Structure 1
Amino acid sequence: SDHVCGSHRMAITENGIEILYSASQISPPSTTESLKFIEDAPHLVFGSLEKLLPSQIPYNTACLVEGAPGLGKSTLAYQFLLCGLHRQESVLYISADIPRQQVYQTLPTWGLLPDPYLEAGQLVILDTFSPMVETLPATSVHLNLNDPEMLLLRIAQQLEQMPKPCRVIFDSLTPLLISCTPREFIKLVYRKNLQLRQPDVAVLDIFAQDGIEKSDHYNLLNLYDLVVDLYSPEWDEMNRGEDIGYKNWLQITKIRGAKADHRPYPYSISPTKGIVIESTSSQSKIIDHNSFPK
């Protein structure tokens, strides 16, 4: 009869022998299946980037948000989560920086009561800290950064159970880099994105940029269709010494297969709206950080 060839990892658990295998790891999605778009909206990502993305962004897209700590990367991830839930999509949120209980407690500050979504299975929050939190709907899924095979398997198994379309958020990749060599890190992210590339799944990863060489960074960027940079420019290095009152800037540095506004824009962080891209009074005040002295 039909069967899956090859050797497969196994583990002895309280349920007996468990074969560490997921069908999605071997059977890629059909290329003939049509790509889905957000209903009644032209853009996949989120409202804060709408003015910079005039093209339709399909599912089967991998996005990377990178920048130094404190610039609002996780804020952008929460906006991505909220947009998905408000459009009746499901969201798988993987927290590698903070316990899932802290994510759960943060969501109400953005105007979202997570319990109905958690109980309905529309929202699942996993972390790498603890196997279960009693105050959240029960889950026995635990992610171990030190076991890449098990990590990818658990993510794939959870994704198979999620309603589609689904947004997968990994906040953040930085602990993965700390737990392995840069080359192993690139391979792991490549395998993760390859596994999650499905016609009804969109991926958003967060990365802090620190601790990786330029060549490895280029290899990492090549794994994504959309790359968003958050940064604070050095004002004294600008060709135009014009301070217009904004500390942080956002720029789409890469997009594959679609159009985007690649110019940098200032943004603010609102306690209720998240990242808000500000309108400048003239085009001359838009700063091209690629022209900075090297």
Structure 2
Amino acid sequence: MRIRATVAAVSGAIVLSALAVPAAQADEGRSWTPEPGFTSVQPKLGDKTKQGFGATAKAAAPKITSAVVNAGKPIVVGTTAKKTVSFSATATADAGVGGVAAFIWTGKSVDDKDSFGFGPNGKSISCKAVSATTTTCKGTITLDPSEMINSDATSWRVGASAVTEEGEEFDSESVSKVRVQRFSKLTVNASPEPVKKGKTITVTGKLTRANWDTGTYKGYTQQPVKLQFKKKGAKSYTTVKTVKTSSTGTLKTTVKASADGTWRYSFAGTPSTPAVSATGDYVDVK
């Protein structure tokens, strides 16, 4: 997998135009696809004096100083809808920075043929010169679940590529990390409704999560899920017991009816799957 950055100067402003990523995971049919608006035009040097970028006697090596995707929070992806998240990246160079953009990837290294990732949306990127030597750019990255597999639910590396005002490209393949997770769903149903005080309430539900291998939602098996109750008039839920999902992700347990209130299941989440709570089901106790 190869990462390469190109930028263009537009109306005298420093704007990142593209970051092309041509290599891919060919054996699984997955690939880096340049977004519309990407170019391969190198920036013109221009007049540094007018832009306030003064040359130094001895230039330090250009450096990516930060790159953060989705504000550092996990990226949760479903089965069909593409997920677009923001990024912010900063680079510094004595010659001035023409632009910088982040990309995300998972695998052994960016040069490994089995690594996989997504680059920035070219038209989304905007840049601001923080100083004569430092520029911060913001933009978006779109993840497509149709190109992903279940093992992609892991911690991804955030890299960045940049170019100086003189056209020198530089990058870092691992500036920070971001977790990618499989979207989860949780249901609940408490019955009968209404119910006599002291009688048995049966609470069923199901925990499912995105299966990127099949493009569907499948039950998340053998997972501990909390059964919670919020008494009528109360502000918060209280955990009553913990129930494990079945081999198909279903949940079922019984409790005694004691008071009017709302029942729900709540899942704490795992590294590959985000936490989720079911919409509560109110039961009237007579």
TM-score normalised by structure 1 residue count: 0.24
Larger RCO (CA under 8 A, 6+ residues apart): 1
Compute the TM-score of the two structures, normalised by the length of structure 2.
0.25
More helix by share: 1
User: Looking at CA atoms only, which structure, 1 or 2, has the larger radius of gyration?
Assistant: 2
Q: Which has the higher strand share?
A: 2
